[in-house]
Amino acid sequence: MTVEIEKEEKENKNELKFHELANLLPMISNDELWQLAKNISKNGLLEPIVLYEGKILDGRNRYNACKLIFYQFTDDDFVEFDESWGIDPFDYVDSMNFHRRHLTTWQRAKWGLIHLAKEREKTKERQLSTLKQFQDDTVPSNSEGTEEQGEALDLAAKKVNVDRKTLWQVEKIVAVAETDPEIKDKVERLDKGKKNISITSIFNDIRQKERLEKIQEIATQPKKLRGKIIHGDFFQEIENIPNKSIDLLFVDPPYNAIIEDWDTFESRKAFREFNEQWLNLVIPKVKDTGRIYICSSQIHKYSFYSILQANLFFGFKFSQEIIWHYKNNIKPQNKKEYFFAYEPIFYLYGKNAKDLNFTHETFSDDIQHNVWFISTLQTNYSEGKLHPAQKPLELLRRIILTGSYEDDLILDPFAGSGTTGVVCEELNRNYILIEKNAEFIEIAQGRIKEGVK
């Protein structure tokens, strides 16, 4: 009877399943598995296989290698995971496997999602502990974009050696794959290591689908808007706008700084000529009571200023340079330069302009100063980043809120994804947007309509 029981136990050892934690990491290749089998055949099973809840927690590869050579398991070849080891099952697998293996970014990021869940749980525990001091039973939500959420992402990303953005994108991909068969299929291809697909391409597919769904939803709920979007080339469409009709001109022109067709010029001379052309056409549209805000770049700002100066600022008063300072997107051009951490905004006003629209509402923070601390947009921000050079809503709010009054007419001749229109609807300003890219026109229309639902 005892012999039969021992035989049954040994047979059961040959049919063990893998724990779900172990399955999160990929198996070694067939060549590596055969080499491992040869080593075990020669030297024996040097490390026991760790079991948890009746399944293999650590040692899947050793287990499969043993089966290749019909290895006869003994009780000494297995050990039960014990909580008294002072580590939980996930951290044990992490310490025994993760840092020993050569994993792809996708594999590391998927593993990082478990770290992320654990970090978020720690955050909730800290919040609950703090709230208990005030006898409050409500735990604030750990929503996207909060400081705590960002800290959890940073800590988890660091543990698996990926950047924060990648981990956030993978979390989104994994969640969407649960209900979207097309995305699930792409994820399976990524799991198999297919080289013609990437995290970025899948994430972009998801954002594009979400964008189109949102636009279609908004299109079925038409609203009367305060302004209009003109689909066309600036140099043609600007002629249809009467002179002295605009109260505030906001211009975010091409910078000749990023690799996009609309932002690339043959030479500095061609870029300067382009700037002179649009300035000569658009500034006459502004009233002498109006204001002008022109975004520029540190690289070309002196060249741009020289154009304004050579044209006597087109009859307007050059007031000052507003500094848009950010800390979340600083990149040096080379190792001999300091980090670029701001963009200049040239501010001019007409000879009969009113005082700036300073109120008690705009007195808070630094809104009435000429240095503004506003983060650059990232793809995980709630407003989304739908254009490579998209400006934050907060930046346009400050310009339009302080530089104009209700019912004023705002012109944005290079409208991009329509941020100016979104803010004008919010602040009860009229507006004219000009944009020649059809895709950006569609995005702008969707964002503006969404904002007035």
pLDDT band at 387, cuts 50/70/90?
A: low
Q: Which of 346, 344, 305 is nearest to 326 (CA)?
A: 344
d(C-alpha 322, C-alpha 324), whole Å: 6
385 confidence band (pLDDT: 50, 70, 90): low
Host domain of residue 63: 2-100
205-224 confidence digits (pLDDT tens): 898 888 788 777 656 655 67
One domain, residues 24 and 117: no
Are the C-beta atoms of 402 and 358 separated by less than 8 Å? Answer: yes
Name the domain count of the chain.
3
> What number of CA atoms fall less than 13 Å from residue 348's CA on the CB side?
24
Contact predicate 379/385, CB 8 Å: yes
Sheet holding 55-58, edge to edge: 55-58, 49-52, 78-80
Both 120 and 95 in one domain: the answer is no
Q: Are residues 268 and 198 in the same domain?
A: no
> Which of 388, 380, 389 minimizes the C-alpha distance to 166?
380
pLDDT for the residue 120: 85
- Confidence (pLDDT) at 144: 40
Percent of the chain with pLDDT over 70: 81
Radius of gyration of the chain from Cα atoms?
30
For 288-323, the pLDDT digits (tens) are 999 999 999 888 889 899 999 999 999 999 989 999
CB 49 within 8 A of CB 59: yes
pLDDT of 281 higher than 60: yes
Q: Bigger pLDDT: 87 or 174?
A: 174
Question: What pLDDT band is residue 89 in, cutting at 50, 70 and 90?
Answer: confident
Which band of pLDDT confidence, cut at 50, 70 and 90, is reported for residue 2?
very low
User: Does the pLDDT value for residue 75 go beyond 50?
Assistant: yes
- At 87 the three-state DSSP class reads coil
Q: Give dist(CA 435, CA 440) in Å, integer.
A: 7
Q: Of 85, 100, 115, which marks where a domain is finished?
A: 100
Q: Are residues 199 and 133 in the same domain?
A: yes
- Over the stretch 33-50, which tens digit does the pLDDT of each residue have? 899 899 988 888 888 888
* Helix or strand run (H / E) with residue 258: none
- Of 244 and 201, more confident: 244
Domain of 376, CATH number, reads 3.40.50.150
347 and 367 together in one domain: yes
Q: What are phi and psi of 185, to 5 degrees?
A: -65, -40
The closest of 57, 60, 63, 55 to 92, measured between CA atoms, is: 57
The torsion angles phi and psi of 430, rounded to 5 degrees, stand at -85, 160
